[in-house]
């Protein structure tokens, strides 16, 4: 990967995790930052998914099945397992009298977003629903990698068609009637892996097609119309909608084509983004018990999450990242 793409991914990762943090401050009624307080959550997650699509399709094409599985597991599992256990112990959900083996295994296998009851049982890491979506993409990417490299555009269109059909089936055909609550239907059905898959395929399309430089004014207009003006047309569409993924892709292409270097703070925010993403929510919740002022709570929560994420990155993530890379280097 060349330097400009590295820098673009660094910028986007850092921005995405901060936007998700701001969105959760809003969702917890702590502090609302204009635009990002409301829209930062879905935008940050979609940025992560597009980046993952860009990177993982290349990994899937490069490695054999055993190497690919080891590479992915060593990258995302250690930090998740540590913080899942840590916060579950702190919140008391792993107490012996409350132990639910089936729900616990569901979380440990990244299947929690497929099971509302299991997700609710062990909710110490609420953002972990995206790991179910991510794991589904890992599986799909390896299965379709060879075909995708031959027909990336057709694969992307097919994914969009399936996602749109699925979302409309959830809304209009009322599939899975056992889930009646509107909020749960949106979260577990309308917002699930099938609906999110186009964002990954958009990133994968960029990786495979390697589009040339585009007119930045045109790309900027795509970003404005699909992302910043999202609320003006949101009611006319069903969400999640692949259209916003086009705006994320346009942003990635603009940054990719600019020759620049990130400030060290952005580089490090990108490095610790995975741990930061995992632990920021429970960190805010725990600190809110002791801090009443919303501004102080927001600042201390951010600083505490950064510190914990640095420790997590150096003690947990980095050793396993090295191990994962050594697995790839043996090929």
Select from 9, 10, 18, 15 the least CA-distant residue to 305.
18
Given a contact cutoff of 8 angstroms between Cβ atoms, the answer to whether 72 and 222 are in contact is no
Q: Are the C-beta atoms of residues 58 and 328 closer than 8 Å to each other? A: no
Contact 115, 103 (CB under 8 A): yes
Beta strands in the chain (DSSP E): none
Eight-state DSSP code of residue 286: H
CB-based contacts of 94: which residues, under 8 Å, 6+ apart?
A: 85, 88, 122
CB 175 within 8 A of CB 234: no
CA distance 12 to 105: 32
Give the residue carrying structure tokens 């983004």: 273
Measured CA angle at 39 (ends 17, 49), to 5 deg? 50
**CA quadruple 150, 207, 320, 23: dihedral sign:** negative
Do the beta carbons of residue 70 and residue 327 sit within 8 Å?
yes
Q: How many CB atoms lie within 10 A of CB 223?
A: 19
DSSP letters spanning 264-319: HHHHHHHHTHHHHHHHHHHHHHHHHTT---HHHHHHHHHHHHHHHHHHHIIIIIHH
Q: CA-CA distance, 107 to 210, in Å (whole number)?
A: 36
The helix-helix angle for 193-209 and 129-150 (nearest 10°) equals 40
pLDDT the model gives residue 2? 55
Q: What's the pLDDT score for residue 331?
A: 46
How far is C-alpha 25 from the geometric centre of its chain's CA atoms?
A: 18
pLDDT tens per residue, the chain (331 residues)?
Answer: 555 568 999 999 999 999 999 999 999 999 999 999 999 999 999 999 999 999 999 999 999 999 999 999 999 999 999 999 999 999 998 888 888 999 999 999 999 999 999 999 999 999 999 999 999 999 999 999 999 999 999 999 999 999 999 999 999 888 888 888 999 999 999 999 999 999 999 999 999 998 888 889 999 999 999 999 988 888 888 888 899 999 999 999 999 999 899 999 999 999 999 999 999 999 999 999 999 999 999 999 999 999 999 999 999 999 999 988 776 555 4
């Amino acid at each position: 990967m060349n330097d400009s793409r590295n820098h673009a991914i660094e910028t986007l990762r850092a921005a995405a995790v901060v936007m998700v943090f701001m969105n959760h401050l809003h969702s917890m009624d702590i502090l609302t930052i204009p635009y990002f307080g409301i829209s930062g959550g879905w935008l940050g997650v979609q940025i992560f998914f597009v980046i993952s699509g860009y990177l993982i399709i290349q990994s899937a094409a490069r490695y054999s099945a055993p190497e690919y599985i080891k590479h992915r597991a060593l990258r995302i599992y250690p930090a998740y397992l540590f913080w899942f256990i840590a916060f579950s112990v702190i919140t008391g959900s792993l107490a012996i009298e409350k132990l639910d083996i089936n729900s616990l295994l569901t979380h440990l296998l990244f299947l929690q977003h497929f099971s509302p009851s299991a997700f609710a049982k062990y909710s110490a890491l609420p953002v972990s629903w995206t790991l179910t979506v991510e794991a589904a993409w890992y599986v799909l990417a390896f299965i379709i990698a060879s075909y995708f490299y031959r027909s990336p555009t057709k694969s992307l269109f097919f994914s969009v068609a399936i996602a749109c059909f699925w979302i409309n089936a959830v809304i209009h055909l009322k599939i899975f009637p056992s889930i009646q609550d509107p909020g749960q239907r949106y979260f577990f059905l309308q917002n699930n892996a099938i609906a999110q898959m186009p964002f990954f395929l958009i990133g994968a399309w960029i990786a495979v097609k390697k589009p040339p430089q585009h007119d930045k004014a045109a790309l900027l207009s795509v970003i404005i119309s699909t992302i910043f003006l999202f609320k003006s047309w949101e009611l006319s569409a069903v969400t999640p909608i692949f259209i916003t993924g086009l705006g994320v892709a346009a942003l990635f292409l603009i940054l990719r084509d600019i020759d620049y270097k990130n400030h060290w703070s952005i580089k490090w925010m990108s490095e610790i983004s995975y741990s930061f993403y995992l632990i920021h929510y429970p960190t805010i919740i725990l600190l809110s018990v002791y801090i009443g002022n919303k501004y102080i709570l927001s600042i201390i929560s951010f600083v505490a999450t950064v510190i914990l994420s640095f420790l997590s990155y150096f003690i947990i993530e980095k050793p396993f990242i090295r191990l994962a890379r050594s697995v790839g280097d043996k090929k």
